[in-house]
Amino acid sequence: MKALIQRVCSGRVEVDGKTIASIGKGMVILVGIGHQDTITQVQAIADKVVNLRIFEDGAGKMNLSILDTCGDILLVSQFTLYADTHKGRRPAFTEAAAPEMAKTLVDDFSQELITRGVTTQTGEFGAHMVVNIVNDGPVTILLEQ
């Protein structure tokens, strides 16, 4: 499982020209599910995400978590995080999970974040999405489990 976390001022997802999810200050997380991933990886990454201290405190140090700041999460499934570009010029996605499995684990990830106390919105699995991200910092962190 791969989660590309971006600290944001705002984030929004549009499908067919309509906004389906929108957040202010918080995180946009692009998540990729591998074919060997399980709920164990989902739970471990969820724990890491909600406790990751990437928000600034009063002294300007990254000492606060999303729980501390009451920020929101916008979660977007992105199988292209599993792109293999070692050969040729066209990426291969052989390590990405099948869509049915990936959707289940992305839904589980969203629920795990909500259970841990973070308001979470999602994109639309399998849809062509336009994702607007206003990165804050910029701060971008890749978690792999």
Q: Could you read off the pLDDT tens digit of each residue along the chain, which spans 145 residues?
A: 999 999 999 999 999 999 999 999 999 999 999 999 999 999 999 999 999 999 999 999 999 999 999 999 999 999 999 999 999 999 999 999 999 999 999 999 999 999 999 999 999 999 999 999 999 999 999 999 8
Task: List, in order of start, the domains of the chain with CATH numbers.
Answer: 2-139 (3.50.80.10)
pLDDT of residue 2: 98
pLDDT of residue 22: 98
Total-model pTM: 0.96
45 with 1: CB under 8 angstroms? yes
pLDDT of residue 33: 98
pLDDT of residue 19: 98
Cα gap 47→116, rounded to integer Å: 8
> Counting beta carbons within 10 angstroms of the beta carbon of residue 131, is it exposed (0 to 12), middle (13 to 18) or buried (19 or more)?
middle
> Which residues form the catalytic set?
78-80
